[in-house]
Amino acid sequence: NTIHIFHHLMDQTTKASGRAGPEHDEEFVDILEERRRSSDLGHALRTFNPHPYRGAPPCSTADLNKAVLESQYLRYVIAMETGSSEEDVREEARGILEEMSQNLQLRFIRLMGYTLTKVFKRLFTGIFVNMEGLATLQQAIQEAPVILMPNHRSYVDFLVISYILFTYDIPVPVIAAGIPLAGMKMVGEILRRSGAFFIRRAIGSDKLYWAVLSEYVKTIVRKGYAPMEFYVEGLRSRTLKSVTPKLGMMHMVLEPYFKSEVFDITLVPVSISYDRVLEESLLAHELLGVPKPKESTAGLLKAGKVLQEDYGTMHVNFGRPLSVRQLCQGKINRCQYNSAPRSKNLPQKPTEEAQACVSWLAHLMVRIQDEGSVISPWSLMACLLLQAPMAVLAEEGLPWERLAERTLWLRRLALDCGAGLNWPGQTPDSDVMSSAVALHRSVVYRRAGRVYLLQQEEPARKRPISPEEAVMRIATAVLMLASYRNQSLHVFARPALLATALHITKSTQRDELFACFCFLQDVFSYEFILVPGELSQDFEEACVLLEKCGAVHISQQEVTLSDMGLEALSFLRALIQPFIDSYQVMFRYLSEEGDPVLTEKQLVPAVRNRATKLILSGELRTYEALSSDTLKNALSALQRLEAVTKLRT
Amino acid sequence: MENVVQRLLKCSTSTFFQLHIVNCTGLGEEGVKAAVATSRLERGKLRRRTRAAVETGVGHREPGPRTRRCPQIAFCPAFCDPDSLPPRVGWIAAGALASIPTPAAHGSAPSIHKHGSSMASNSSSSGGSDRQRIAQQRLRIIAGHLQRPAGDDSALLAAECKDQGSKSDASSEEKTVPRRRQEIMKWNGWGYSDSRFLFNKKGQAEFTGKRYKLSGMIIPGLKEWFEGTFGANLQHKSPATPILNSSAVRPPTLNEAFVEELKSTGVPFSHDAEDRVFRAYGHCVHEIFALREGRIGRVPDLVVWPNCHNDVVKIVELACKHNVCLIPYGGGTSVSSALECPSEETRSIVSLDTSQMNRILWIDEKNLTAHVEAGIVGQDLERLLNESGYCTGHEPDSMEFSSLGGWVATRASGMKKNIYGNIEDLVVHIKMVTPRGVIEKSCQGPRMSTGPDVHHFILGSEGTLGVVTEVTMKIRPMPEYQKYGSVVFPNFEQGVACLREVAKQRCAPASIRLMDNEQFKFGHALKPQVSSIFTSFLDGLKKIYITKFKGFDPNRLCVATLLFEGNREKVLQHEKQVYDIAAKFGGLAAGEDNGQRGYMLTFVIAYLRDLGMDYYVMGESFETSVPWDRVLDICQNVKARIVHECKERGVQFTPLSTCRVTQTYDAGACVYFYFGFNYRGLSDPVHVYEQVEHAAREEILANGGSLSHHHGVGKLRKEWMSETVSNVGIGMLKSVKDYVDPNNIFGNRNLF
């Protein structure tokens, strides 16, 4: 049954995202085109006439906040707080809400609209939006509370959905944001009035904070106050790869349905894809241990120079609205909440069933975001470039012809695997690839028929660079390249795991392969986000895709290699190899390290040092082992597999 | 004197009925209530007048000839004490009075009967003044009760059982519920054959017959509402099979030995096809729909009409002896498939129709109880008690046709339960015949601590354990004053909040119901034609006031209907209290008419369903009870689910999906859902209907609603019983069943 629903869903999302195929370009409309033709001010001052949720009367921000503070639930929690007087606790709750709450105002949406038009026109050649998705969204918003669930790859996404919805007369969302944004002078307040509400990062066991937050979120959902936008991944992916979803917010959002406080909730996954991400080098540095600059207004203004560059296009793909009611059928027994009064569910931990359902849904959303994302030719090229030895790529370069040929081959493979490619049909293929490289001149450059990895020159060097520094310089470019590869990783993840399993086991037996597939998935569960509990479907899918690419033959019991498929299989294996290598560095470090107790803070730099040495000695090929993200994922995986434990001090 | 009283009564009662006609206060379940309401007012005045007449010394009564057959009279044993005063008339003349049809239907005042007076002469030995005093006292009571037969203060021993055989046939014709129900009731629809809605040649809706307030009236707004709500079209008709085709009924499987022995008991029975079909169904959509199409499934093989408790004992004994399946039948108003013959039943099925066990055996005025045979239908019970100045106050929406035994067997609830209580609060003593023998308590103590209350095995047993034959019920003096009222709220949320507050303050009127916006509109569509321009002008003004001046959104506002009962001052005080609470929730008093019309809707809606079915519209109502904190959500979610499911199942036009809160309790409320849809173009509309209802029930349960508040489980909701009462609970019920009825003689297979 689940399989059935899932496949049904996949069909639907496939349709909705309109991926793969030449017609895909026709579905997306460049919303900047009109902005370039008409007045920005006119756009900002346009008559905004959205059709809100029909199920409940409109309510003001003040009413919303009042409803939260006066809710039975919060009153109950306040009464349960011990230590200080009830009045003090109430005051504290009010303070929390004040810090948190949004204050959506149309004036500021207009201001935001005006500013963003200016910014977007400068940054992007186009912002492509699927109009059909917008039309269904407009409908869905009237029928049930809508949760917009975009992926988060750049700061730029933060208001882009609001901007699009404003342009198309759809109610603008309230957006869950991290508290640092609120701290930015002026900007924080502008964001708040554009619909952002702010959540502290480390809430821990602050019961009152949890209570205010969850009541705030649930009240918005229950009242259908406005569509709610939040990042199920919880944060901006530093690697452009999907992140294991966070469940807290997801649970809060779904609870009104679980508890039958609303008839249904509509989830709308949104996939935002970039040709080129503004923060690319910042991210790479961060991954290599250079701390992320604190969000500040001054910092934002200084970022002015990034506005001078071209970032290609942005695709915003609104997925098909999904009914939580339909998705949860058979997964949630809503009767379980019937015996407790509605307002007093605090001490009750969510049931295992509910947790599993929330987790499943969250992963499903990530998967649909992945499926809906639009893959650029550059991403395919990045996959291939990364498979070359880096030192060679940096020093000797790769023949352009070879790269172009391989890219076209990979395009075929990607299409077979069902990727949503943004490969302009009208332009000659060579021009497409040339302009992709040109756009990414911050990573590679082309000279005399060869492509080279760019190593950033640091100005005013006083002393010659050390070998370690040289590694870091290459690493910066490699990690940028890896990020762009990651954009298409989800397309190949399943067949690549199978290809690796085929290689490791040297077996043709399905069950053996499946066991290995599961093991790999288990180890790399933080790298490739698969929907939990659906491994056998994933395995089946992998088999089918490999067969479709002509790499294997499938029978009831066996998966046998085909001669035609060696290129594909080795490509797929090589795609995963950096992860395997990086994890091994971590594993080896841990098993060789004498001290059984390490702090996390020390561990990552230590492993990075070890990896640097291994790279220098030629033992390690991949620079991705230097990425803190990869190392942290490896650690998390070990923790999940109970090979290491986290001690709280 | 008697003549004076009688004339007075005649004249006043006819005034009352004239008033009725002028007021268009008609009857039916709704009508009865309306009539009762008015008549109470009238009677209050009359009582004062009569009392005056009595006190001026005309308190002498002459024995007169009987105007009709003398009724069997049962009397309260308490009054047999020879030392006590002659009874404050603890009896009621069941047979004769039961023969008086509903007043409006009759069109004239019921005549007053005189009765034998042996007791009167016995007790008259204590001398002149005493005698006069007693006579006066009696007369006062008599006059006070007005419609009570004025000619007797004696008590005769009740005949053990009513006459059987040819003699009683004549009398049965005069009863509300004859043995041959087909004589007055529809076989494939709701209620009386003479009463139905139709669209006349001008396309206007009218209601036929003379029984109800709405009878003979044009309802101008109904067509537009009907077409607009359901997307129905008067051109597209789906008429019912007009006549029951007896050949479509399978011949009975008779248990010859049983039939032989039954004959010797003298209990009337029949295996006539019509009789059998009439007892084979309740009023679920699927049942009525099949009948309209002339499709008849398994029906009982035999119908028996016991006349008294002992008859039932004999029948049950015979059934056990010959292994015959018995299905008790009361008023036939089941909406839970409870009457459906189980398809897996291979034995001969005998329908035990209690309708002829309809006497009030005694009224005990000291303890305010009445002992009644369980086959009596609600309207007769109330009417007969009213004639003695009493009422039970138990008024389920089906009270025209549903029976006391049925109420007990399903745990029925009455509209005025806020004052009188639900059936479980009203019964003091129950007698039930089971295969193991008769179960009853040894006394009539008002409450006992004697282990689990055995009454609660009977209440809600749905005919699976035995037949309830006699019940002692609490009675109350009739309220002297009744007043309808209504409150308009800007939205349903406010309305629910108000009801909750009313419940919290424990000041609910006899009845308080909150209709949602859709039902408010529906109620509006049922307004009969107003002849006076003034009235329509006033209506217009009201509407403008509410929507324009008060800013209520006509598509959101909703209305609560109220019924107050009791002492006049208290009612007025109570009314003020409730309206004050309502005002806090933005409610505006909207007049008595709206209130009254709201209650009328309850009684005609079943007839309206038949009209719908004539035009491809199918509908049903179902109910639940739910804690206060879930009322709003359950209403919203179940309504949405219905719309959603219809869409999923290819219903073209958005269905009518509406609800109302019909009862308030300390800890929750009873909610009723109405669901109707246009089924034109669907190949299997009943199946679609059933799927939607099933989904709606799942939604109810998921929202913390109960499986049923008062309709019962029957076979329709069996599948959810174990999750409702837990497996242990089911085990308990089953073990009772196994003990009481090991051979499943009461084999209707309801509940589990």
Q: What is the pLDDT of residues A42-80, one digit of tens each?
A: 999 999 999 999 888 888 999 999 999 998 888 888 888
- The answer to whether B402 and B705 have CB atoms below 8 angstroms apart is no
| Predicted confidence (pLDDT) per residue in B258-291, tens digit | 999 999 999 999 999 999 999 999 999 999 999 9
Residues 684-743 of B with CB under 8 A from A: 701-704, 723
Please state, in angstroms and rounded to a whole number, the distance separating the CA atoms of residues B94 and B75.
Answer: 11
Average the pLDDT over A282-292 and give the result: 84
Q: Which of A354, A178, A321 is nearest to A254 (CA)?
A: A354
User: What integer is the mean pLDDT of A96-120?
Assistant: 93
Per-residue confidence at B544, pLDDT binned at 50, 70, 90?
confident
B461 burial (CB, 10 Å; 0-12 / 13-18 / 19+) is buried
Q: Do A335 and B644 touch (CB under 8 A)?
A: no
Contact of B642 with chain A, judged by CB distance below 8 Å, is answered with: no
CB-CB under 8 Å, B640 with A263:
yes
Q: What is the ipTM of this complex?
A: 0.84
Cβ of A335 under 8 Å from any chain B Cβ? yes
Q: What is the pLDDT of residue B156?
A: 36
Contact of A525 with chain B, judged by CB distance below 8 Å, is answered with no
Of B78, B114, B74, B109, nearest in space to B92 by CA: B74
Mean pLDDT over residues A585-607, rounded? Answer: 85
Number of residues assigned to chain B: 752
If pLDDT is split at 50, 70 and 90, which confidence band does B106 have?
very low
Domain boundary among B548, B568, B597: B597
Is the CB of residue B714 less than 8 Å from the CB of residue B337? Answer: yes
Q: What is the pLDDT of residues A431-442, one digit of tens each?
A: 999 999 999 998
Query: pLDDT for A465-506, tens place per residue?
Result: 788 888 888 999 999 999 999 999 999 999 999 999 999 999
Per-residue model confidence (pLDDT) at position B64: 42
**B242 in a domain, yes or no?**
no
| CB contact residues (below 8 A), chain A span 249-278, against chain B | 260-264
Within a domain: B244: no
Residue ranges making up the domain that contains B736: 172-183+250-478+722-752
User: What pLDDT digit, counting tens, does each position of A550-583 carry?
Assistant: 899 999 889 998 888 889 999 999 999 999 999 9
Mean pLDDT within A261-286: 92
Report residue B413 as tokens. 């609830």
Q: Which of B547, B573, B597 is the last residue of a domain?
A: B597
What is the spatial distance between Cα A576 and Cα B143, in angstroms, rounded to a whole number?
A: 101
Residue B749 sits in a domain whose CATH number is 3.30.465.10
Shared-domain flag, residues B329 and B455: yes
- Partners of B439 in the beta sheet? B432
The predicted model gives B544-558 an average pLDDT of 81
User: Residue B545 pLDDT > 60, yes or no?
Assistant: yes
Known binding-site positions of B for FAD:
328-334, 410-413, 462-468
Tell me the two tokens of residue B215. Answer: 């009878």
Task: Write down the pLDDT at residue A649.
Answer: 62
CB pair distance less than 8 Å for A260 and B627: no
- Quote the pLDDT of residue B134: 57
Locus of tokens 């002339």: B294
Among chain B residues, the shortest Cα distance to A323 is held by: B644
Cβ B704–A264 below 8 Å, yes or no?
A: no
B629 touches chain A (CB under 8 A): yes
Residues of A in contact with B636 (CB under 8 A): 55, 263
Last residue of a domain, one of B574, B597, B620: B597
- For the residues A506-533, what does the mean pLDDT come to? 93
Quote the CA–CA distance of B223 and A328 in Å, as a whole number: 41
Other C-beta atoms within 10 Å of B233: how many? 13
Give the pTM. Answer: 0.83
Q: Over 50: is that where the pLDDT of B320 sits? A: yes
> Within this chain, do residues B117 and B79 fall inside the same structural domain, yes or no?
yes
Residue B672 · residue B662 · CB < 8 Å? yes
Contacts of residue B669, defined as CB under 8 A and 6 or more positions apart, other chains included, come to B496, B499, B500, B503, B625, B626, B628, B631, B661, B662, B663
> Looking at the structure, do residues B467 and B502 belong to the same domain, yes or no?
no
Residue with tokens 């509109």: B521
Question: Which chain B residues contact residue A334 at CB under 8 A?
Answer: 702-703
Lowest mean pLDDT among A231-240, A447-456, A462-471: A462-471
Does residue B63 contact residue B114 with C-beta atoms inside 8 Å?
A: yes
Q: CB-CB: which of A261, A333, A335 is closest to B633?
A: A261
What CATH number does the domain containing B650 carry? 3.30.300.330
Band (pLDDT 50/70/90 cuts) for residue A291 is confident
B619 and B570 within one domain? no
- Residue A290 pLDDT grade (very low, low, confident, very high; cuts 50, 70, 90): confident
Query: Quick one: pLDDT at residue B523?
Result: 85
Reported as a pLDDT band with limits 50, 70 and 90, residue A401 is: very high
Encode A409-433: b = buried (16+ Cβ within 10 Å), e = exposed.
Answer: ebbebbbbbebbbbbeeeeeeeebb
pLDDT of residue B688: 95
Query: Which residue would you say has higher pLDDT here, B99 or B352?
Result: B352
Cβ of A76 under 8 Å from any chain B Cβ? no
What the block records as the tokens of B483 is: 């007043």
- For A142-190, the pLDDT digits (tens) are 999 999 999 999 988 888 999 999 999 999 999 999 998 888 888 899 9
Reported residue count of chain A is 649
The alpha carbons of chain A give a radius of gyration, in whole angstroms, of 25
The answer to whether A478 and A630 are in contact (CB under 8 A) is: no
pLDDT above 50 (res B621)? yes
Q: Are residues B333 and B451 in the same domain?
A: yes
Please indicate, yes or no, whether residues B347 and B473 belong to a single structural domain of this protein. Answer: yes
For residue B658, the model assigns a pLDDT of: 95
Instruction: Identify whether B602 is part of a domain.
Output: no
* B351 and B219 belong to one structural domain: no
Q: Is B568 found in the same domain as B433? A: no
Cα separation, B411 vs A93, in Å, equals 48
- Give the pairing of strands A450-453 and A398-399: antiparallel
Domain membership flag for residue B240: no
Record: contact B701-A335, CB cut-off 8 A: yes
B487 is written with which tokens? 């409150």
Report the CATH number that the domain containing residue B199 is assigned in CATH. Answer: 3.30.160.650
Residue of A260, A333, A353 best to disrupt the B interface, most CBs of B under 10 A: A260
Q: Which segment of A230-239, A390-399, A496-505, B547-556 scores lowest on mean pLDDT?
A: B547-556
Report which residue type is found at B618. M
The answer to which of A99-113, A343-357, B11-25 has the lowest mean pLDDT is B11-25
- Count of structural domains, chain B: 5
CB-based burial, A592-628: b 16+ in 10 Å, e otherwise: eeeeeebeeeebbeebbebbbebbeeeebebbbbbbb
Q: Is residue B104 predicted with pLDDT exceeding 70? A: no
Give me the residues paired with residue B363 across strands. Answer: B370
Give the Cβ contact number of residue A447 at 10 Å.
Answer: 9
Q: Active site includes B481?
A: no
Residue predicted with more confidence, B182 or B594: B182
| B491, B557, B644, best to mutate vs chain A, most A CBs in 10 Å | B644
At residue B537 the predicted structure's pLDDT band, cuts being 50, 70 and 90, is low
Domain-located, residue B280: yes
Tell whether B419 and B433 lie within a shared domain. yes
- Segment A598-614 mean pLDDT: 89
Let me know if residue B138 belongs to a domain.
yes
In angstroms, rounded to a whole number, what is the distance separating the alpha carbons of residues B393 and A151?
64
The answer to the question of residue B322 being in a domain is yes
Which pLDDT score, from 0 to 100, does residue B530 have?
A: 73
Contact B656, B620 (CB under 8 A): no
Establish if B159 belongs to a structural domain.
no
The rounded mean pLDDT for chain B is 81
Q: What is the pLDDT of residue A76?
A: 86
Span A323-340, average pLDDT: 90
Shared-domain flag, residues B464 and B486? no
Report the CATH number at residue B543. Answer: 3.30.70.3450
The pLDDT tens digits for B642-688 are 999 999 999 999 999 999 999 999 999 999 999 999 999 999 999 99
Kindly tell me if the per-residue pLDDT of B216 is higher than 70: yes
pLDDT digits 0-9 by tens, B159-169: 456 544 433 33
Q: What is the pLDDT, as a whole number, of residue A346?
A: 55
In angstroms, the separation between the Cα of residue A577 and the nearest Cα of chain B is 48
**C-alpha dihedral (B577, B583, B584, B587), degrees to nearest 10:** 120
Across the range A88-96, mean pLDDT stands at 92
Same-domain pairing of B273 and B296: yes
Going by pLDDT thresholds of 50, 70 and 90, the confidence category of residue B175 is low
C-alpha A495, offset from chain centre: 21
- pLDDT tier for residue B125 given thresholds of 50, 70 and 90: very low
pLDDT number for residue B86: 38
Q: Are residues B695 and B712 in the same domain?
A: yes
Q: How far is Cα A367 from Cα A638, in angstroms, rounded to an integer? A: 23
Q: Give residue B158's pLDDT.
A: 41
The number of C-alpha atoms within 13 Å of A1 and in the hemisphere containing its C-beta is 6
Mean pLDDT of B370-386: 96
How many CB pairs below 8 A link A and B? 36
Contact B644 A263 (CB under 8 A): yes
pLDDT of the residue at B535: 66
